[in-house]
Amino acid sequence: MLPLSLVFLSCLALVYAGSANKGDNCTQADSRLQTGTFQFFDDCNSVTYCASNGTCLLKGCRRDDFPFGYAKGAHLPDKCDVGQFCPDEADACQPLLSVDSPCQLNRDDECEAPPNADALRDTTNRGLNFNGAVCLNNVCMWANQTAGNSCTVENTAYIAYGPSGEFIDIVSRGNCIVGLYCDSTSKQCMAEKALGAACTADKECGSWNCLSSGTCGPDTSIPNHVGTGVYVAVAIGIFVGIFGTLLGLFMLHRRQRDQEREKRMQYWREQNAFHQNLLQMRQTARASILSLPGHGNSARSTMYGRDGMPSDEAPILQHAAPKGSGLRHYMGDDSSEYDEGMMMQPTTQRNDGRF
Ligand SMILES: *[C@@H]1O[C@H](CO)[C@@H](O)[C@H](O)[C@H]1NC(C)=O
Ligand SMILES: *[C@@H]1O[C@H](CO)[C@@H](O)[C@H](O)[C@H]1NC(C)=O
Ligand SMILES: *[C@@H]1O[C@H](CO)[C@@H](O)[C@H](O)[C@H]1NC(C)=O
């Protein structure tokens, strides 16, 4: 939380500046740190500073790689060499300040590093110190106090903005070594607390995250890692989802297919019954014709009667598919590979059955 808001504030710091251009008048007495943001402000715009003679002059140094307010391709002032710093006013580079010298708020980089800088340096990226040096209450010192030692603490109340509006964000800094924090009341260096321990401020937690419940929560800057079980559960979920959908669609379509098949069966039965009726009528008619005197052994009767069955249904079959295909296949096989054309073939089936 805090490092993030600090980043946010330092971004804001580059945005606001006075409006006086180069050569315009300015008053150095106006230079100040803005309320709430503690951003440096003077009358001059973002590419100039207010010189001691009351004129805005071009800045003489910069701290950022990409400083705000410069046109694209414009010449930028140089960054300062090692052993120097660029103050908030950005008028000119100055040599680093020794211990106990006055420094600007949050400008640990203005102070000279201790001899054992490598051991004291903050590598946690939390802005605890710069090369082991720290600027507290505008005084340069080293962050070298060990557990139980007395320490210096600096509390700065920033105005921050959240979903519920404005709130005070107190940033508390001390000169304890990394891994310890400076307790505001006892002014002693104490070990940072472990996950779940009671806390009152982020600085007390090793994870740098004191939850509103008053216990140290997990480090918010560490990416979330989920267990293998979650991956397995998600994979199973995906497969169950896919195959569940496929199975569901298959069942649904099978039911529709069965309904369709039943309809066709019904149609076929109707047609069949109808055809049987026709045949019976025809047979009855023929029988009555044959029973008439003089028609007993005519050529026609031998032609019709060879198989004892009517062959005059041949015209119905002449456009039908060959025997053994079509509906017989459809009837005997549930794979249901049929189309509208098969509606024409009940006669084939019936004849097959008959013969
Ligand atoms: C700047 O200040 C000088 C003297 O201090 C004054 O004469 C001049 O009018 C001022 N210029 C502007 C633009 O205010
Ligand atoms: C202020 O100083 C700068 C540089 O020293 C100079 O260019 C400028 O003319 C001076 N302005 C006034 C009002 O004296
Ligand atoms: C700790 O830092 C202070 C300056 O803040 C310095 O005077 C003192 O000598 C240092 N102590 C040790 C043990 O390095």
Instruction: Answer whether 183's CB lies under 8 Å from 159's CB.
Output: no
Say whether both 117 and 155 belong to one domain: yes
Confidence of residue 292 (pLDDT cuts 50, 70, 90): confident
Question: Which residue's CA is the nearest one to ligand 2's atom 14?
Answer: 53
In a domain, 29, yes or no: yes
Distance between CA atoms of residues 355 and 351, nearest Å? 6
Produce one character per residue of 123-154: b if its CB has 16 or more CB atoms within 10 Å, e if not. Answer: eeebbbbbbbbbbbeebbbbbbbeeeeebbbb
Interatomic CA distance for residues 1 and 158, integer angstroms:
13
**Rounded Cα–Cα distance for residues 52 and 234 (Å):** 67
Which of 80, 107, 140 lies at the terminal end of a domain, its last residue? 80
Rounded to a whole number, what is the distance in angstroms from the first to the last CA of the chain? 91
Q: How far does CA 23 lie from the centroid of its chain?
A: 50
**Do 129 and 196 share a domain, yes or no?**
no
Which pLDDT value is given to residue 305?
A: 44
Pair (19, 69) in one structural domain: yes
pLDDT tier, 253 (very low <50, low <70, confident <90, very high otherwise): very high
Report CA(63)–ligand 2 centroid distance (Å): 24
pLDDT of 223: 87
Parent domain of 210: 192-240
Q: Is residue 150 part of a domain?
A: yes
Do residue 70 and residue 113 come from a single domain? no
- Is the CB–ligand 2 distance for residue 53 below 6 Å? yes
pLDDT tens per residue across span 198-222:
999 999 999 999 999 999 999 988 8
Q: For residue 282, is it within any domain?
A: no
Q: Dig out the tokens for 319 from the structure.
A: 């456009």
Judge if the beta carbon of residue 129 lies within 6 A of ligand 3. no
Q: What is the mean pLDDT of residues 158-175?
A: 94
Domain assignment of residue 334, yes or no: no
pLDDT of residue 339: 46
Pocket test residue of 55, 56, 91 for ligand 2, highest count of atoms within 8 A of CB:
55
At residue 124, the pLDDT reads 86
Last residue of a domain, one of 47, 80, 113: 80
Does 55 sit in the ligand 2 pocket, CB within 6 Å?
yes
> Ligand 3 test: best mutation among 96, 97, 98, 99, most atoms within 8 Å of CB?
99
| 103 falls within a domain | yes
- Across residues 226-246, what is the average pLDDT? 96
Query: What distance in angstroms lies between residue 48's CA and the mean position of ligand 2's atoms?
Result: 13
Q: Say yes or no: CB of residue 142 within 6 Å of ligand 3.
A: yes
In a domain, 85, yes or no: no
Q: What is the pLDDT of residues 315-332, one digit of tens each?
A: 444 444 444 444 444 444
* Tens digit of each residue's pLDDT (9 = 90 or more) over 76-134: 999 999 999 999 999 999 999 999 999 999 999 999 999 999 999 999 888 999 999 99
- Which of 40, 138, 22, 7 lies closest to 77 in space, CA to CA? 22
CA–centroid distance, 59 to ligand 1, in Å, is 21
Q: How many domains is the chain built from?
A: 3
Residues 13 and 72 in one domain: yes
Asked whether residue 111 falls in the same domain as residue 66, the answer is: no
Amino acid at the residue 216:
C
Domain membership flag for residue 5: yes
Alpha carbon nearest to ligand 3 atom 2, residue: 142
- At 25-34, the pLDDT tens digits run 999 999 999 9
Contacts of 117 (CB under 8 A, 6+ apart): 131, 132, 133
Tokens of 176: 């304890």
| Residues in contact with 331: Cβ distance below 8 Å, sequence separation at least 6, in sequence order | 349
Verify that 61 and 19 share a domain, yes or no: yes
- Residue 56 three-state SS: strand
Do 3 and 67 lie in one domain? The reply is: yes
Model confidence at 297, pLDDT cuts 50, 70, 90, reads low
Predicted local confidence at residue 314, as pLDDT: 43
As a whole number, the mean pLDDT across the chain is: 83
Q: CA quadruple 23, 80, 28, 158: dihedral positive or negative?
A: positive
> Can you give the pLDDT at residue 16?
64
Atom of ligand 3 nearest to the CA of 142: 5
Which of the listed residues 156, 178, 200 is the one where a domain comes to its end?
178
Higher pLDDT, 235 or 335: 235
Residues 108 and 153 in one domain: yes
Q: What is the mean pLDDT of residues 60-69?
A: 93
With the most atoms of ligand 3 within 8 angstroms of its CB, the residue from 144, 153, 180, 182 to mutate is 144
Residue 37 pLDDT > 70:
yes
Q: Within a domain: residue 62? A: yes
Model pLDDT, residue 13: 43
Q: Could you tell me the two tokens for 14?
A: 């580059």
| 112 and 154 both lie in a single domain | yes
